[in-house]
């Protein structure tokens, strides 16, 4: 999917906030493989940018995010993204 310049600019503004959310996912995945959690406002905002629609729910309903660990991340690697170098050694 190709984003317009406006969408790219909006996504870039949200990037540092999304990083906070993904950091919490990384901590959670130290010993787990799947996670279901409330979706953050930033994730909902990203979806609205990409879809072009406002994401509204009826009263009492909430957005959820389902997250799966695709590859183990090892904090000793010193990188913030998935660690390919230690993939075979990670628990």
* pLDDT value at residue 73: 56
Q: By three-state DSSP, how is residue 68 classified?
A: strand
In a domain, 85, yes or no: no
Residue 46: count of CB within 10 angstroms of its CB: 19
* pLDDT value at residue 46: 93
In a domain, 16, yes or no: yes
Total of domains in the chain: 1
* pLDDT value at residue 89: 42
In a domain, 82, yes or no: no
Mean pLDDT by 10 residues, the chain (91 residues): 90 91 83 88 93 91 89 56 42 42
CA atoms within 13 A on the CB side of 63: 14
* pLDDT value at residue 77: 53
In a domain, 26, yes or no: yes
In a domain, 90, yes or no: no
In a domain, 83, yes or no: no
8 Å CB contact between 28 and 36: no
The residue segments making up the domain with residue 55 are 5-77
Q: Quickly list DSSP for 34-66.
A: EEEEEPPHHHHHHHHHHH-S-----TT---EEE
* pLDDT value at residue 74: 58
């Amino acid at each position: 999917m190709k984003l317009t310049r406006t969408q790219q600019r909006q996504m870039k503004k949200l990037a540092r906030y999304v990083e906070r959310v993904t950091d919490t996912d990384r901590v959670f995945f130290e010993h787990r493989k799947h996670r279901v959690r409330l979706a953050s406002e930033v994730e909902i905002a990203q979806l609205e940018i990409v879809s072009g629609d406002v994401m509204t729910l009826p009263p009492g309903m909430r957005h959820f995010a389902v997250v799966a660990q695709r590859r183990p991340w090892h904090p000793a690697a010193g990188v913030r993204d998935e660690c390919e170098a230690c993939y075979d050694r990670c628990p």
